[in-house]
Amino acid sequence: MKFSRRNFSRRKFVLTVGAAAGASMVPLGHLQGQASSNVLLMVFLRGGADGLQMLVPGSGHARAMYEERRNPAGTSGSIVIPPSSGSDPNRGIQLGSSRFDVNPAFAPLVSGAGNPFDAGHLGFVPGTAGARENRSHFQQMDLIETGTDVTGAVLGSGYLQRAIESMGLASAPLASLSLNAEIPLMLRGASSQGLAIANFDTFGQLGNEVFDAPANRGLTDRLRTAFSANPCTSLFCQGATKGIGAVEAVDALPTRSPGRGMAGALVELARLIAADTDDRFRVCTLDVGGWDTHTDQANRFR
């Protein structure tokens, strides 16, 4: 699923949603050579999302194969999405004039006045996957995030961070940003890594209930006190310097409110991108978990 570029005031971004079971990488050409006002947002459905519960054949021979293989004779329960042409209340929604149906949960995105699909802001790319087929969604996630097709020997860096490094933005604090508590593999590089900010309002503030220091003393003050060596040569000192730059960059952003869940994080990020006059954001990622459905699929997919 892929959103096209969309204006937020003066900024633009490309949003790509990837499911580990069937996602493809965004070509690095989408980053290199782009105007500085463009932002790439990668939303990763962490786990083994079932693509055939999202986009399914709506008619013809492909539909017959889909129904046969999703609900084999002699099995209990069905994980088939009823065709849009039928009367089942849980039937799929026909995707425009195509022969594909989408899960009825996509209704706000593909139906109704001014929906993103009809407006040209949303597209679906079926049948995509990594360069190597395998039955492990853990390995598939590694292949996608590192940008390699070598099974069992993935790279130690992520393809998005390598793109940032090739653009000369490795030292820019907000150029590669994760909206989660941890930095994903796709934002880890050989000489730099992205920044993880789960909540912009609390980033850089460390509560202290043990040591003799102000409870809300800023992270930058603590880092400057702990790493005041000149020149700054150690890895710890260099890391502290980058940390100071990151906190100062976030502090310079306009007033923001903490995001709540996926929707809150995306709204918060859109506001920051729209208000950012210095083009600091280039690549942002958001991981959304809970996509593994190993058991009781017939009931969990209803």
Number of Cα atoms under 13 Å in the Cβ half of residue 262: 13
Q: Region 147-161: what's the mean pLDDT?
A: 78
For 152, residues 6+ apart whose C-beta sits below 8 A from its C-beta are 139
Contact in structure between 28 and 159 (CB atoms under 8 Å)? yes
Which tops the pLDDT comparison, 2 or 170? 170
SS3 at position 181: coil
Paired with 188 in beta bridges are 193
pTM of full prediction above 0.85: no
For 247, residues 6+ apart whose C-beta sits below 8 A from its C-beta are 203, 204, 218, 219, 220
192 C-beta neighbours (distance < 10 Å), count: 20
Least-confidence region, from 1-10, 78-87, 191-200, 268-277: 1-10
Least-confidence region, from 18-22, 42-46, 225-229, 259-263: 18-22
Contact in structure between 38 and 14 (CB atoms under 8 Å)? yes
In percent, the amount of the chain with pLDDT more than 90 equals 24
- The structure tokens listed for 259 are 């995001």
DSSP code, position 27: P
Q: Region 132-149: what's the mean pLDDT?
A: 80
pLDDT at res. 232: 67
Give me the phi and psi of 150, to 5 degrees please.
-95, 100
Q: Can you give 146-166 as a three-state secondary structure string?
A: HCCCCCCCCCCCCHHHHHHHH
Question: The dihedral of CA 126, 162, 137, 3: what is its sign?
Answer: negative
Tokens 């593994």 sit on residue = 292
CA 21 – CA 219 distance, rounded (Å): 39
Instruction: Please say if the pLDDT value at position 235 is more than 70.
Output: no
pLDDT band with cut points at 50, 70 and 90 for residue 58: very high
For 209, residues 6+ apart whose C-beta sits below 8 A from its C-beta are 215
CB burial of 112-125 (b: ≥16 within 10 Å; e: otherwise) equals eeeeebeeeebebe
- The structure tokens listed for 273 are 């991108």
CA 40 – CA 269 distance, rounded (Å): 12
Element (H, E) at 275: helix 261-275
pLDDT band with cut points at 50, 70 and 90 for residue 149: confident
DSSP code, position 131: S
The predicted-structure confidence for 62-93, as pLDDT tens digits, reads as follows 999 998 888 766 566 778 899 999 999 989 99
The residue length of the chain stands at: 302
Choose among 179, 154, 142, 171: nearest CA to 246: 171
